[in-house]
């Protein structure tokens, strides 16, 4: 990614600080609290009139990762969220509405999740689809991330040779087994969008990404929310795969004026369906937040979580919850930052994030962060 000499967003109508001041503040922020240079722009710190007090509403990713992660998202529980089958089983036994799973395909240990029939060969794939009378299904990398390694089965043909339709191409069961290779894949139900999300973009399951924080007294705070939508005939909504994200106001339940993609291009409407975002109210918004709050209380061991919720024709369905990526999204989902919402909660457990003034770094911090800053700048210029 090229080094950002300006905001990745459209600032043509926004007055910004002089370039020398932007670089000066960027360096000060890095040395004091490890703000990454790219965060300076993505948090709009370069806008004229933004003070250090304003900046301290945004907690830098590195500070969260280095100070909070091991306490509020402990690694001993991380496998539960990394493995889709484990998470769904845990959540299902606690009466949460999650996507249905049929089996795990793997050449060594694969099995049907209902009766433990082997699921390790092409014939086993045919057996599973016949047994559950599946015409459609989604096959995902068991521990996959960022919308990668997902296969959408949109048709099944049981002729002389059992075949599957992926995108617009028909392949045999042997070709599907070869495509999955030696990986670990979970086979899940094929969900349909509800009327609202289908209107925005019908080809992908468009999900709400909602960040929750479980407070010290067991209450749930919603720190941010957005809607993700596919684009360009793609069947995944993940913005690492080109999808759009549209932030949503927590109190109003309304979309803001624009969405954006991974390259920070702004869109006031969906480029395929021409659905305009500004001010659109999400149906059953309060119900969705209550659904997420109930889900968050089910996992008291993970204080920070990001939830992917589908608004389907059958209601709200949890696709997954993430403990790792939560720190990346958490600031992006709030135009005013989230530090003020949880500052007291963090302080009670020993994490005192500054309120008005930047801390003065030690000599050791200066030396260690100088090398890191040089590496960041070199990496951003590549």
CATH number of the domain at 73-97+193-339, please? 3.30.470.20
The whole-number average pLDDT for the span 344-358 is 80
Beta bridge partners of 255: 248
* 369 band by pLDDT with thresholds 50, 70 and 90: low
Torsion angle of the four alpha carbons 265, 268, 271, 272, in this order, in degrees rounded to the nearest 10: 140
Tell me how far apart the alpha carbons of residues 217 and 191 are, in angstroms, rounded to a whole number. 36
The whole-number average pLDDT for the span 351-357 is 78
Question: Exposure of 60 by Cβ count < 10 A (0-12 exposed, 13-18 middle, 19+ buried)?
Answer: buried
pLDDT at 92 > cutoff 70: yes
Structure tokens at 43: 């948090």
Question: What are the residues whose beta carbons fall under 8 Å from the beta carbon of 283, sequence distance 6 or more?
Answer: 196, 311
Beta bridge partners of 309: 208, 318
Residue 217 confidence (pLDDT): 87
Structure tokens at 14: 């926004």
pLDDT at 27 > cutoff 80: yes
**At 309, is the secondary structure helix, strand, or coil?**
strand
Structure tokens at 135: 């015409």
pTM of the entire predicted model: 0.85
Question: What are the residues whose beta carbons fall under 8 Å from the beta carbon of 341, sequence distance 6 or more?
Answer: 213, 221, 223
Alpha helices in 45-145 (DSSP H): 52-55, 61-67, 69-72, 78-82, 84-92, 122-131
Torsion angle of the four alpha carbons 127, 128, 130, 131, in this order, in degrees rounded to the nearest 10: 110
Q: What are phi and psi of 218, to 5 degrees?
A: 90, 5
Domain boundaries, given as residue ranges, for the chain: 1-56+363-382, 73-97+193-339, 101-188
8 Å CB contact between 47 and 9: no
pLDDT at 34 > cutoff 90: no
Tell me how far apart the alpha carbons of residues 142 and 39 are, in angstroms, rounded to a whole number. 31
pLDDT by residue (tens digit) across 1-23? 333 334 445 555 678 899 999 99
The whole-number average pLDDT for the span 250-263 is 87
* Nearest CA among 275, 131, 320, 297 for reference residue 215: 297
The whole-number average pLDDT for the span 176-201 is 95
Tell me how far apart the alpha carbons of residues 188 and 285 are, in angstroms, rounded to a whole number. 26
CB atoms within 10 A of CB 373: 17
Question: What are the residues whose beta carbons fall under 8 Å from the beta carbon of 378, sequence distance 6 or more?
Answer: none
Question: What are the residues whose beta carbons fall under 8 Å from the beta carbon of 229, sequence distance 6 or more?
Answer: 197, 200, 201, 204, 206, 237, 243, 244, 246, 259, 270
Question: 110 to each of 127, 128, 183, 333, 358, how far by Cα in Å?
Answer: 13, 12, 10, 38, 53
pLDDT by residue (tens digit) across 94-125? 999 999 999 999 999 999 999 999 999 999 99
Most confident of 5-14, 145-154, 310-319: 310-319
Residue 260 confidence (pLDDT): 84
pLDDT at 180 > cutoff 80: yes
* 144 band by pLDDT with thresholds 50, 70 and 90: confident
Residue 375 confidence (pLDDT): 63
* Nearest CA among 1, 326, 270, 298 for reference residue 145: 326
Query: Across the chain, what does the average pLDDT equal?
Result: 85
Question: Exposure of 29 by Cβ count < 10 A (0-12 exposed, 13-18 middle, 19+ buried)?
Answer: buried
**At 213, is the secondary structure helix, strand, or coil?**
strand
8 Å CB contact between 36 and 60: yes
Q: 382 or 166, which is more confident?
A: 166
């Amino acid at each position: 990614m090229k080094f950002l000499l300006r905001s990745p967003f459209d600032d043509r109508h926004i007055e910004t600080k002089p370039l020398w001041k932007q670089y000066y503040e960027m360096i000060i922020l890095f040395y004091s609290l490890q703000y990454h240079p790219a965060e300076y722009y993505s948090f709009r710190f370069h806008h004229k009139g933004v003070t250090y007090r304003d900046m301290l509403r945004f907690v830098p990713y590195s500070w969260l990762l280095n100070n909070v992660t091991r306490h509020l998202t402990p690694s001993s529980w991380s496998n539960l969220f990394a493995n889709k089958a484990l998470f769904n089983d845990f959540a299902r036994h606690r009466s949460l509405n999650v996507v249905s799973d049929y089996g795990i395909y793997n050449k060594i240990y694969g099995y049907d999740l209902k009766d433990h029939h082997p699921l390790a060969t092409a014939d086993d794939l045919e057996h599973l689809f016949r047994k559950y009378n599946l015409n459609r299904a989604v096959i995902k990398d068991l521990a996959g991330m960022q919308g990668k390694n997902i296969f959408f089965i949109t048709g099944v043909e049981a002729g002389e040779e059992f075949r599957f339709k992926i995108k617009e191409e028909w392949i045999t069961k042997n070709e599907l087994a070869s495509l999955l290779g030696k990986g670990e894949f979970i086979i899940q139900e094929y969900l349909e969008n509800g009327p609202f999300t289908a209107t925005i973009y019908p080809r992908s399951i468009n999900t709400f990404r909602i960040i929750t924080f479980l407070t010290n007294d067991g209450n749930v705070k919603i720190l941010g929310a957005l809607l993700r939508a596919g684009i360009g005939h793609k069947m995944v909504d993940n913005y690492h795969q080109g999808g759009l994200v549209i932030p949503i106001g927590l109190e109003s339940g309304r979309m803001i004026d624009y969405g954006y993609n991974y390259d920070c291009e702004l869109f006031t409407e969906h480029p395929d369906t021409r659905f305009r975002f500004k001010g659109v109210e999400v149906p059953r918004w309060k119900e969705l937040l209550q659904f997420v709050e109930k889900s968050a209380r089910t996992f008291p061991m993970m204080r920070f979580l990001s939830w992917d919720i589908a608004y389907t024709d059958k209601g709200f369905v949890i696709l997954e919850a993430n403990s790792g990526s939560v720190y990346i999204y958490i600031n992006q989902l709030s135009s005013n930052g989230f530090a003020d919402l949880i500052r007291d909660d963090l302080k009670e457990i020993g994490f005192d994030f500054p309120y008005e003034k930047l801390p003065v770094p030690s000599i050791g911090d200066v030396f260690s962060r100088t090398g890191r800053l040089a590496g960041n700048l070199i990496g951003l210029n590549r």
